[in-house]
Structure 1
């Protein structure tokens, strides 16, 4: 009985062991078939091995299945080695491309500086510039050593410029046919010119007291000299110049440029010799100055502070882009330089958000007859992005004796007469401009702007009424409106069409108007 039980238990144990072996064999067979099916092309062979044969023992089947799994594993290892080799080749190609780009000279920055761009537009423009650089890369590398500019100081110097051709059709007479700013009674004109071409030098110098140094200068051919027959070709004129020391948030500088109280200028490719809206609310005059600026980073914003000394020239005569200066300017005769300052608050970390600023200007003057008077101005400026494609810019002012800054109708002061004396009175003035920019694409923009310069009529009337011989030599009011389209098919080419309307008033006269249609084509280098 016990022996039968033991025999039964043994049979059961043997049966269980057999079932376990069969189950393990089935699992190994299934795993081998699936592995061979996925990872090796010898699926048919593995499948045939996996099929149990009645004449083969369990050990033979197990060996064949083990061999099939080993073969699949070997093929998997081969695939992994191939993938690692491809990754190495891809990494080497990336390093080679980066090295080639670092050797190629940097291309000029894209024109003209305009804000409110979307990241997708910037990426598209960058891609086009990369393609242009790659097309020119072989020639640039081959000639790099022969064309580089060598300086006495051995520090980097870059030559830049804008070869600008423009034409304008004026329906009535204007001051300068190539770049008119006010209307004159008389017939119209048509002008073709390259005088607004700009040449520039940009330099970087050594560090001093922990600050990086830099300098730049810009000249054009828009001066008018005594040889009037050469005026169509133009004479060389210094436009702007800068030199400065830059710390993290502070810059000390000397410059010939716009006053600190007028940080912005309207956008135009047709009006370059004299900036757009000059003498119509734009305090555009380039004046020598020395100063310092400092920025205070705040939470996602910045506070900007700037102040400096400035030397303002005498106002030019009507129709002149440059002044043959007298032996001594009125500001020089006073023996005190002028001052100007600006404080602004800008939102955003990269200077792309809205910004509002307040400015002030004060400068003592003395006439050739030793009569002292003061020039001053208070200003308000605004930059307001509206979405990703629209930007609003504006600058307004109120002051006295602003002829040297490009306002006041070309006049600093007027005289009032009594029965026995003549009293000098600085001419009060108010004006400003505003521009709306729409930039649907990175290389296409539309601009519309309006500006006005309005000397006080009461000052002019009192001056004329108090003397039977006194006349007013300036403009009593000047207004300009324009709209333009600027298209840049590449980083180096610029095309523009512009319509401008001028309204000019003289003392005691009617309004003179002129329609100006201008075309511009430029090559930036």
Structure 2
């Protein structure tokens, strides 16, 4: 009897042990499932990750792609679009003969002229290479407009004004293209005269012509040389006498200049031009000496200009009367002197004032009666920057022309222009 009592007493203890065992088994089973899940995730991670050789192959491929991209970028020339959309209104008093941009006062009274135009707008491209050519940086530009002369046509052509390709080294430069004469590097500031340079026929030698240039810099000094192609048809010689309408020319220029803190500077140059015109069987020299300057004595004041003296100078953009044919058939060159000057003042950050004047004087004894012996121009303008890219300008100018042995004429010209710069 006592044994049964003991067995009955042990039954609850056995049940407790069984429950404990089952709980431990359940816990082990749960931990086992978690371990299996972690093992599965680790296997998936290991199987998805490339091996060391595969990783090296990917890195090499990416390096090749980057190198290819850099080579492509180095072979490109970034091009920037620039220029000026110019709307111009003008009024010329009698004597301008109805032309848009007069450079002389006509001997006959003619008629007054007024109008508006956008054909002096300019479109340009600037480019520069990220790489180098023989250690030099490459750059260049090309500017075009719709100018077709002094009277507006039905469909103004697209004209190349200037273009250049330049390589710059530390102390020297080489450039080639369509450029202003080397001996006349500066221009007055004007938005009224864009199709032709300001003070044309009044001392500014400006005509853009094909040329190649070299420049050497040593301290404050620059030595420059240019080989150019002259345009002989602009000399005013009879077409039947012009043996060659294109002739080679040589120009030299020495410059002394320096800048202080980018606010004050000076540049003074002296140069010369040598070429030869051929009319029939005669060879006629073109010889010009020049001096030019650009001085900024104060941050908001600049003075610039040019002086020249020589013979047969007109193929560089001056009065078209380089020669005189005598009664006996002998051809003589015309001797000339002239120049121009400008004072520019930045009155405020938005307003700039410009005063300029120029003169071209041909020796009367070299001319026939009735030819323009003395041509003078003077004017002023105010430019107001309405917005960072919008400029409003008003300009007034007077042109005086003295004709040998006959009359003196003058015209007044007034321009209102607005330009969007891009």
TM-score by length of 2: 0.76
CA separation of 1:416/1:190 partners in 2, compared to 1, >3 Å: closer, same or farther? Answer: same
For the residues of structure 1 that align with 2:139 and 2:224, how far apart are their CA atoms? 18
Pair 1:428-2:325 in alignment: no
Segment drifting more, 343-352 vs 179-188: 343-352
Task: String of CA shifts for 1:411-442, please: whole Å, max 9, x gaps.
Answer: 1111233xxx4221110001000111111223
Higher share in helix? 1
Aligned to 1:247: 169
CA separation of 1:350/1:208 partners in 2, compared to 1, >3 Å: closer, same or farther? Answer: farther
| 1:343 shift after superposition | 0.5
Q: Over aligned residue pairs, what C-alpha RMSD do you find?
A: 2.6
- The question of whether the paired residues in 2 share the 8 Å contact of 1:168 and 1:177 is answered with no
CA separation of 1:314/1:152 partners in 2, compared to 1, >3 Å: closer, same or farther? Answer: farther
Aligned to 1:518: 415
> Which of 357, 373, 393 is equivalent to 2:269?
357
CA separation of 1:193/1:328 partners in 2, compared to 1, >3 Å: closer, same or farther? Answer: farther
Pair 1:388-2:299 in alignment: yes
For the residues of structure 2 that align with 1:514 and 1:455, how far apart are their CA atoms? 20
Secondary structure in structure 2 of the residue aligned to 1:166? strand
For the residues of structure 2 that align with 1:233 and 1:353, how far apart are their CA atoms? 44
- The question of whether the paired residues in 2 share the 8 Å contact of 1:356 and 1:383 is answered with yes
> Which of 225, 234, 256 is equivalent to 1:345?
256
For the residues of structure 2 that align with 1:331 and 1:507, how far apart are their CA atoms? 30
Instruction: In structure 2, list runs of 5 or more residues that go unmatched.
Output: 1-71
Instruction: Give the 4+ runs in structure 1 shifted more than 6 A.
Output: none
> Which of 188, 193, 202 is equivalent to 2:126?
202
Secondary structure in structure 1 of the residue aligned to 2:231? coil
Pair 1:218-2:125 in alignment: no
For the residues of structure 1 that align with 2:77 and 2:299, how far apart are their CA atoms? 39
Pair 1:441-2:348 in alignment: yes
Equivalent residues in 2 for 1:134-283, closer than 5 Å = 154-174=76-96, 177-184=99-106, 185-205=109-129, 206-224=131-149, 231=153, 234-283=156-205
Secondary structure in structure 2 of the residue aligned to 1:316? helix
Secondary structure in structure 1 of the residue aligned to 2:365? helix
Aligned to 2:379: 482
Aligned to 2:231: 313
Task: String of CA shifts for 1:86-132, please: whole Å, max 9, x gaps.
Answer: xxxxxxxxxxxxxxxxxxxxxxxxxxxxxxxxxxxxxxxxxxxxxxx
For the residues of structure 1 that align with 2:364 and 2:126, how far apart are their CA atoms? 45
Pair 1:491-2:388 in alignment: yes
Task: String of CA shifts for 1:363-418, please: whole Å, max 9, x gaps.
Answer: 01112x131111010001122223232211120100111111112x211111233x
| 1:445 shift after superposition | 0.6
Task: String of CA shifts for 1:268-309, please: whole Å, max 9, x gaps.
Answer: 011111111011000011111111012212xxxx11111010
Task: String of CA shifts for 1:139-181, please: whole Å, max 9, x gaps.
Answer: xxxxxxxxxxx99963211111100010111111315633221
Aligned to 1:93: none
- The question of whether the paired residues in 1 share the 8 Å contact of 2:203 and 2:339 is answered with yes
For the residues of structure 1 that align with 2:78 and 2:216, how far apart are their CA atoms? 26
Aligned to 1:304: 222
- The question of whether the paired residues in 1 share the 8 Å contact of 2:138 and 2:166 is answered with yes
Higher share in strand? 2
> Which of 411, 436, 450 is equivalent to 2:321?
411
